[in-house]
Chain A
Amino acid sequence: MTALLPVEPLDQTARPMTPAWDRPPAVEVLSAEKVFANGARGLAPIDLSIADGEFLTLIGPSGCGKSTLLKLIANLIEPSDGRLLWWRSDFAQVGQEGRRLAFVFQEPTLMPWARVEANVRLPLEFANMPRAMADPKVADAIAHVGLSAFNRHFPRQLSGGMKMRVSIARALVTSPNLLLMDEPFGALDEFTRNKLDDDLVNLSWERKLSTVFVTHSIYEAVFLSTRIIVMAANPGRIFRTMTIDHPQPRDQGFRDSPKFAAYCRELSAWLAEASLQSAAGGGS
């Protein structure tokens, strides 16, 4: 079974052929670790390189530091030691070089008092973009998530899945190069989640996005990712890495394939192992 799967070795020297490793990596995590103020080791030193155009998923038992790692990549928190590079530069230069990050939270976090279009326009207003320039981008982003008919609606008039789409449109409107998502569909029912996964995998492909995605769902991880990082806790660390060797964009056909089932089985076994190791207290 294991032989069937192109499993990447633990060291990061052997890199998958897809996506583009010939271009500078979107993010490099260089021995970055995180010790919290209370002394807890959130993350042991981690080395990770995220290729341009890659769809990377972080998965693991709770407390494994996947959200912490995502926040480091988003520059929401600073590493206690080590450093991160974005397109081979410091974070301060990301904006200057015309590159952008966008973050999608677990909750849609929309402004309840603003219509869909106003919610999506918000990041452009932060950038002081004039209305005439912003409006076509807003309309385009809303069309991309299939909500053009709901332009003038208020968030409370939308279903949970639609609110999440608005949240994604708000992330896409700035044409980001790097999209960071923290369990964005965790609160949705499976049917809605699958639909949004379908759309997301195509969107990230069309827009040539590099995406880092945190999830608890094995099926979601396998369906979306080009590479999956399985993490373990105590301290938070990379346990194993799995490369999903299937061309993008993907569709229901991939979900129904024996290959998909095999990946899911393998990932499930790894997660069970990671949980065991986390409980044992790993490094300490």
Chain B
Amino acid sequence: MKPLFESEVFVRIAAPIAVGIVLFMLWEIGLRLASVPVYLFPKPTDIFASLLHNGPSLLRALLVTLRVTLQAFVAAVILGTLIAFMFVQSRAIEVSLFPYAVLLQVTPVVAIAPLIIILVKNTQLSLTICATMVALFPIISNTTLGLRSVDPGLANFFRMNRASRFKTLVKLRIPGALPYFFGGLRISSGLALIGAVVAEFVAGTGGRSSGLAYEILDAGFTLDIPRMFAALLLITLTGVALFAAMVALSQMALSNWHDSETRAEA
């Protein structure tokens, strides 16, 4: 048994935390020494105080943003996977539809969000649509790539045994696509959050209040800079948590066999 500080897991968790603590301390000490006013740039202690003080309203906003994010993410995963399956069924479908998937991807959500917010009456729904559009593309492209990346030797084996289309899909294409799919999930989960926040900003400037982005806007209007930072902190933490959840999910699904998730045997 190695000492704790030498173990891989401990180092991987402890090292970033140590860096974070040092940065926060430098931030705190620097601002104190320079006596920068709170309304210009808050100290970490100010931000934590604001976080506690505005706890209930920030938490409510967090839940709104989280709900939009998760709805959009789930919608993107379902839609994206379905579209990817459609794409691999026939080359014609892919060739005719793929440019539109790209179109969806390159259109900035800020530019199209006002339109969607006007067209869709329900704010929650319009935000979800915007975030879904942002999160959709990585799922489509990764899953399509995965479903196509079949080991040629195995494909030959399936063909030789006259495996049905369905069996080839279930036993060969889908398991083979999983590593790509999980790669798509990681990117897409972060994008869903970004999409949700951006759409909230647009909706917020239009006067429809909701979510953490609105908290940031509102804090800006009232020059409550610590609250702005607190909301920002919550968004960041949400993103990290989503990413960690996706990593854990893909580790659970792939750890037995895929090189990306297998750890060297001791």
User: Which A residues are within 8 Å of any B CB, using their own CB?
Assistant: 74, 76, 103, 105, 107, 109, 111-114, 122-123, 125-126, 154-156
Tell yes or no: B222 within 8 A of A by CB: no
Closest 10 CB pairs of A and B: A109-B153, A113-B175, A126-B161, A113-B257, A112-B257, A154-B257, A126-B163, A107-B153, A109-B154, A154-B256
Tell yes or no: B258 within 8 A of A by CB: yes
Tell yes or no: B262 within 8 A of A by CB: yes
Residues of B within 8 Å of A112, CB to CB, are 257-258
For the complex, give the distance between the alpha carbons of A74 and B162 in Å: 13
> Smallest CB-CB separation from B167: which chain A residue?
A126
B54-113 residues with Cβ-Cβ distance < 8 A to A are none
Tell yes or no: B156 within 8 A of A by CB: yes
Tell yes or no: B53 within 8 A of A by CB: no
For the complex, give the distance between the alpha carbons of A74 and B258 in Å: 32
For the complex, give the distance between the alpha carbons of A103 and B163 in Å: 15
**Is A113's CB under 8 angstroms from B167's CB?**
no
> Smallest CB-CB separation from B160: which chain A residue?
A103
For the complex, give the distance between the alpha carbons of A111 and B176 in Å: 9
Tell yes or no: B171 within 8 A of A by CB: yes
For the complex, give the distance between the alpha carbons of A109 and B176 in Å: 13
> Smallest CB-CB separation from A118: which chain B residue?
B171
Q: List 28 A-B contacts (CB under 8 A).
A: A74-B160, A103-B157, A103-B160, A105-B153, A105-B157, A109-B154, A109-B157, A111-B171, A111-B172, A112-B257, A112-B258, A113-B175, A113-B178, A113-B256, A113-B258, A114-B175, A122-B161, A122-B171, A123-B161, A125-B167, A125-B171, A126-B161, A126-B163, A154-B256, A154-B257, A155-B257, A156-B257, A156-B262
* Chain A: minimal CB distance from B150 (Å): 11
Residues of A within 8 Å of B154, CB to CB, are 109, 111
Residues of B within 8 Å of A122, CB to CB, are 161, 171
* Chain A: minimal CB distance from B76 (Å): 25
Residues of B within 8 Å of A156, CB to CB, are 257, 259, 262
Which of A107, A111, A113, A154 is most buried by chain B, counting CB atoms within 10 A of its CB?
Answer: A113
For the complex, give the distance between the alpha carbons of A123 and B171 in Å: 11
> Smallest CB-CB separation from B265: which chain A residue?
A157
Residues of A within 8 Å of B171, CB to CB, are 111, 122, 125
Residues of B within 8 Å of A154, CB to CB, are 256-257
Which of B151, B160, B171, B258 is most buried by chain A, counting CB atoms within 10 A of its CB?
Answer: B160
Residues of B within 8 Å of A113, CB to CB, are 175-176, 178, 256-258
* Chain B: minimal CB distance from A35 (Å): 22
Residues of A within 8 Å of B262, CB to CB, are 156
For the complex, give the distance between the alpha carbons of A106 and B177 in Å: 24
> Smallest CB-CB separation from A108: which chain B residue?
B153
For the complex, give the distance between the alpha carbons of A155 and B154 in Å: 14
For the complex, give the distance between the alpha carbons of A122 and B160 in Å: 12
> Smallest CB-CB separation from B158: which chain A residue?
A126
For the complex, give the distance between the alpha carbons of A48 and B139 in Å: 53
For the complex, give the distance between the alpha carbons of A129 and B178 in Å: 27
* Chain A: minimal CB distance from B163 (Å): 5
For the complex, give the distance between the alpha carbons of A112 and B178 in Å: 12
> Smallest CB-CB separation from A109: which chain B residue?
B153
Residues of B within 8 Å of A125, CB to CB, are 167, 171
Residues of A within 8 Å of B163, CB to CB, are 126
For the complex, give the distance between the alpha carbons of A125 and B175 in Å: 16
**Is A76's CB under 8 angstroms from B160's CB?**
yes
Given A105-B157, A113-B258, list of 4 further CB < 8 A pairs?
A: A109-B154, A113-B175, A113-B256, A155-B257
B221-266 residues with Cβ-Cβ distance < 8 A to A are 256-259, 262
For the complex, give the distance between the alpha carbons of A156 and B257 in Å: 7
Which of B157, B167, B258 is most buried by chain A, counting CB atoms within 10 A of its CB?
Answer: B157
* Chain A: minimal CB distance from B152 (Å): 9
Contact with A along B126-157 (1 / 0, CB 8 A): 00000000000000000000000001011011
